[in-house]
Amino acid sequence: MNLKKLWKQFLPLSLSDIVMALGDPLHHAALAQLDRPREHLAAYGVAKSLAIFFESPIIMLLHAANALAGNPVSRLALKKFTSRFCLFLSVIFSLLLAPFIYPWFSKNILGLGDDISALALSILFFLIPWPLVIGWRRFYQGQLIRYGFGNVIGKASIIRVFYVAGVLYFGVKFLFPATAVAGLALMGGIVVESAIVISNYYFRRDSFDKVLDSEEKQKILPQDTWQAWNFFWPLSLSMMIVWGGRVLLTALVARAGDAQLALAVWPVSWGIVLLLSNSTRMIQQITISNKNQMNGMLLAKFTLSVGAVFTLPLVLLSIWGKSFLLFYLGNDLELVTAVLPILRWCMLFPMLIALQNALQGYLIGDGKTKLVNIATVISVFCLAIITWLLIIYGMKGAQAAALGVIISMLIEISILKYSLGNKT
C-alpha cells in the first residue's frame, strides 16, 4: 500500500461527498435569484438542518455496512435493521410536521418567526421520505465500497448533481415557487442517486461472496438484528448528537442580536465550508478498509495531503473571493460582507475534518465505537456552551457559530488522538 493507491481509492469516494456538498451552494445561488432571497435562504437552512438531524442516526450506516460487508450473516442482519430503523425515522419526521407539533416546535425550540417557519415547513413536506431513502443508499454504498466499486458511487453522485442543477435552473428560469424548487431538487436528487446505487449493487452482488475475506468470517460480528443494533448504536448516537448540535446552533443563531441576517449568513457560509470540508470525509472509509495494510506514518501523510488539497481553495476564496460571492449571492453586498469573515475563520476547517475522520476510522475499524461517541458528546457540549456564551456577550450570530464549531472540533480531535494512544 502506498500514497498513490490510497488516493486512487479515495478520489471516486470523495467525488460523491463533493457532489453532495455542492447541492447547498447550488440551492443558495438559485434561491438568491428568486423572490425574498434572504427569507428563503434562511428557510432552506432550517429545513436542511432538520432533515439532516433525522438522517443523522443513519449516517454511519455507510461505515457499518463497509465494516460488516465481509460476513454474509452480519450483512443480512444489518439489512433487516436498516429497513426497520429508517422507516421508523421517516414516520417520526412526518409527525414533527403535524399541525399540533410543528408551530410550537418552530417557535419555542428553534426561535423562528412565523414567516420563515411557514417557508421552512413548505420545504420540509417534500423531505418526509428523506431518512428512508438515505438509509438504503448508505447501506448499499457501504457494500460497493468494500468490494472496490467506489467508482459507481462517484458516477451516481455526478448524475445527482446534474438533476439538481436542472431542477434549480428551470425553477429560476420559469420563476417557480422557491420552496417547491428547493424541495424537489433536494428530495429528487437523493432518489435519483439512490436508484443508481441500488441497481448497480444488485447487478454486481453475485461477485461479492466470491471475494469474501476468510478473516471476516472468523470475526465475532453481529449475527442478528439486535446484535447489529448493539454494534451500530454508538455510531448512530454520535451522529444524532452532532446534527442535534447543528440544529441547536440554528436555534442559538436565531436568538442573536442580528438574527434576521445571521439566519441567512450562517447556512450560506457553512454550505461553502462544508463543500470542501466534506470532501475529506472518505478518509474514514479508506482507513477502515486499509488499516491493516498501512502504518500510521502513511496514514498521516495521506491525511495531511488530502487536508491540504481541500483547504487551499477555501483559503483562496476567503481572501480573494469577494467578486465571486457577489455574483453567487445576487449582488447582495451586505450578505457578502457578513459571509467573508466566516469563511476566513473557517478556512482551515477541511484540514480539521480530515484529521477527525482519520482518527475516527482507526477507532471504528478496531470496534471502539463508544470512544467515538464520547468524543462527539464532549465536542457538541462545548459547541453549544461556547456559541451561547459568545452570543450572550454580543458577538454576531454567524461569527459565534463559526468560532464555536472551530474550538469544539479542536477539542474532539484532541480526545480522539488521546483515545487512540500511540497507534499513529
Residue 413 has pLDDT above 80, yes or no: yes
| 71 or 214, which is more confident | 71
Integer-rounded Cα Rg, in Å, for the chain is 21
Average the pLDDT over 162-186 and give the result. 93
Average the pLDDT over 200-209 and give the result. 74
Report residue 224's pLDDT band, with 50, 70 and 90 as the boundaries: low
pLDDT at 122: 95
Average the pLDDT over 7-25 and give the result. 79
Cell of 239: 451522529
Residue 308 has pLDDT above 70, yes or no: yes
CA distances from 62 to 43, 209, 382, 424 (A): 29, 19, 27, 24
DSSP 65-76: HHHHTT-HHHHH
Report residue 163's pLDDT band, with 50, 70 and 90 as the boundaries: very high
User: Using CA of residue 220, residue 134, residue 46, residue 322, what is the dihedral sign?
Assistant: positive
Please count the residues of the chain. 424
Our count of domains for the chain comes to: 1
Contact 9, 289 (CB under 8 A): yes
Mean pLDDT of the chain: 86
Contact 138, 69 (CB under 8 A): no
Report residue 214's pLDDT band, with 50, 70 and 90 as the boundaries: very low
Euclidean distance between CA atoms 244 and 56, whole angstroms: 8
pLDDT at 353: 94
Residue 219 has pLDDT above 70, yes or no: no
Residue 339 has pLDDT above 70, yes or no: yes
Burial category of 204 from C-beta neighbours within 10 Å (exposed 0-12, middle 13-18, buried 19 and up): middle
Q: Which domain holds residue 299?
A: 3-420
Contact 275, 244 (CB under 8 A): no
